[in-house]
Structure 1
Amino acid sequence: MSVYVITGVSSGIGYGFLKSISEDSQNLVVGLVRNKPATEQKVASELGKRPNVHIVHADLTKYATIKEAAAESTKIVGDRGIDYLVGNAGFPAQFDAYSPIGELGEEPTELDEIADLLFKTNVTGNIHFFNLFMPLVLIGKTKKVIAITSGHADLDFINNFDIENSALYAASKAALNIIVAKFSAQYKKDGVLVFSISPGVVEVAHFGQCLMKFVGRAQAYTPHFKGPVPVEGAVQTIRGMWERASIETGYAGAFVSHFGNKQWV
């Protein structure tokens, strides 16, 4: 049996993780969400009664709620600790999703607000999440900490294909990757694998009007690319990646794709 604690399980890839992992009744899954009642209702409606699923309230922008979630999770998992700690939750801003950074400067107030929220959610929130839950990871068997990041944070990808959009989001994920490497530097000696995985292009309804433009760029990068993959397929690929990754095979502090390399789509 493995114990998982995953943020952002109310929808998208996070919900896909919750659904897939909890299919094995031997696994224990604690899902952290902002809206606990709605998520519990969704789980009950779509998955039925799964005693190995626990939904806990936490908001990555509010330290007190993460601390409370850590205390509640400790009661749930007990001395088993955590095998997989997954920082999946994030804030995908629409403000910078379609426009180049030069145009964002035309709305300085909104730029400031969105940049602050992105950093607070995607970076600082994960620092608190990892710190508060690390004691449980240290007593777990597998000791893996995974941050869900984005290929948008890769400088070579941006420069080689002139990826203009999502500048603020990409910057927050780049910062997250640095934080992951720093956690790895501290905890690798304790046998904890900490690394970042980009999930690729997944059907999570965040693409909107920029999808066709992005598909064109992605096909130039990877000719066989046909478009976003279903959540179910993405989840299986990502889980396979984090299962085979280890400190010994060079993944400590790494920033990799769902393929385990630098191929982002």
Structure 2
Amino acid sequence: MPSYAITGAARGIGFEFVNQLSADSGNIVFALVRNEATANKLKELGRHNVHIIEADITNNKALKYAAAEVSRLTGNSLDYLINNAGFVESEREGLTLDSYSSEELLTKDLLDSFNINVVGIIHTINIFLPLLKNGKAKTVVTLSTGLGDLDMTMGSELITSGPYSISKAAVNMVNAKYAAQYKSEGFIFLAISPGLVDTSTRAPTEKELEQLMAMIGKFRNAYPDFTGPITPETSVRMQLEVINRITVNDTGAFISHKGNKEWL
């Protein structure tokens, strides 16, 4: 029975990973959420093979509790860890690095992004590594983004989303460091971009819509035929196709939901 632990599983892409993976009753899926009280969509699935565990990836004590719960239910093993949880400061997503109102606010966004998108991922991997070593798949997937790719940034001339992009570029190196260390043990470490995914739960504000259209306009510099975001369902289906065919020879890769460097 393959086992999966997915962080940030209450909504969006994380929820969709849980939804698609748990549709196979032969899988056991651990949905890690920041607040179990708000994980209503997960509870509504009503699937016996889904286990909801409250664990914020910035809280090592909570992560250790989650790992202990996984260990208890699997007999001390885990096949797949999917690092989906992440952070983006949406209110200031449209700013450039030199257009912040204060140095303090820029510093806050940089440190918050790094703390969650890099440090939180490292701690999550380290805490679950003992279980993964006992698993059959030995696979760690970390959701990244094409915004963390240097060529994509230059090709699209996308100059906003600096703290988020910088932190995701850093986590790509985290992925490579673990891959280099554990390749000889048969581990697969993969950084994957889900594409531009519409995870909204409400209609966008006028400002948010303006920012989205500006971003799409920039993306078309690199991808002239790009039409807009895809759904979580489509993104996760494509990501799972990539995850299921990746081998240890590909460990350390940073690729897209299409299995290549085509980010959109």
TM-score bucket of the superposed structures, by smaller chain: over 0.9
Q: Is the 8 A contact 1:177 1:255 kept in 2?
A: yes
- Superposition pairs of residues 110-125 of structure 1, within 5 angstroms: 110-125=105-120
Name the SS of the counterpart of 1:5 in structure 2: strand
Q: Which residue of the partner structure matches residue 214 of structure 1?
A: 215
Q: Equivalents in 2 of 1:111, 1:219: separation in Å?
A: 28
Q: Equivalents in 2 of 1:166, 1:96: separation in Å?
A: 8
Runs of 4+ in 1 over 6 A off after TM superposition: none
Q: What's the offset of the Cα at 1:181?
A: 0.6
Q: Is the 8 A contact 2:21 2:29 kept in 1?
A: yes
Q: Which residue of the partner structure matches residue 82 of structure 1?
A: 78
Name the SS of the counterpart of 2:9 in structure 1: coil
Within the candidate set 41, 46, 49, 1:52 is matched to: 49
Deviation string, structure 1 residues 168-195 (Cα, Å, up to 9, x no partner): 1011011111111111111111100001
Q: Which residue of the partner structure matches residue 200 of structure 1?
A: 195
Q: What's the offset of the Cα at 1:129?
A: 0.4
Q: Which residue of the partner structure matches residue 5 of structure 1?
A: 5
Q: Equivalents in 1 of 2:90, 2:231: separation in Å?
A: 21
Name the SS of the counterpart of 2:104 in structure 1: helix
Q: What's the offset of the Cα at 1:203?
A: 0.8
Q: Which residue of the partner structure matches residue 66 of structure 2?
A: 69
1:128 and 2:118 matched: no
1:137 and 2:136 matched: no
Q: Which residue of the partner structure matches residue 36 of structure 1?
A: 36
**What letter matches 1:185 in structure 2?**
A
Name the SS of the counterpart of 2:255 in structure 1: strand
Q: Is the 8 A contact 2:2 2:27 kept in 1?
A: yes
Q: Is the 8 A contact 2:70 2:78 kept in 1?
A: no
State the TM-score, normalized to the length of structure 1.
0.93
Q: Equivalents in 1 of 2:185, 2:37: separation in Å?
A: 37
% identical aligned pairs: 38
Q: Equivalents in 1 of 2:125, 2:210: separation in Å?
A: 35
**What letter matches 2:177 in structure 1?**
K
Q: Which residue of the partner structure matches residue 244 of structure 1?
A: 245
What is the total number of aligned residue pairs between the two structures? 258
**What letter matches 1:182 in structure 2?**
K
Q: What's the offset of the Cα at 1:95?
A: 4.4
Deviation string, structure 1 residues 78-105 (Cα, Å, up to 9, x no partner): 24x222110000011124411111102x
For structure 1, list consecutive stretches of 5 or more residues without a partner in the other structure. none
Q: Equivalents in 2 of 1:27, 1:93: separation in Å?
A: 34
Q: Equivalents in 1 of 2:194, 2:233: separation in Å?
A: 12
Q: Equivalents in 2 of 1:82, 1:92: separation in Å?
A: 28
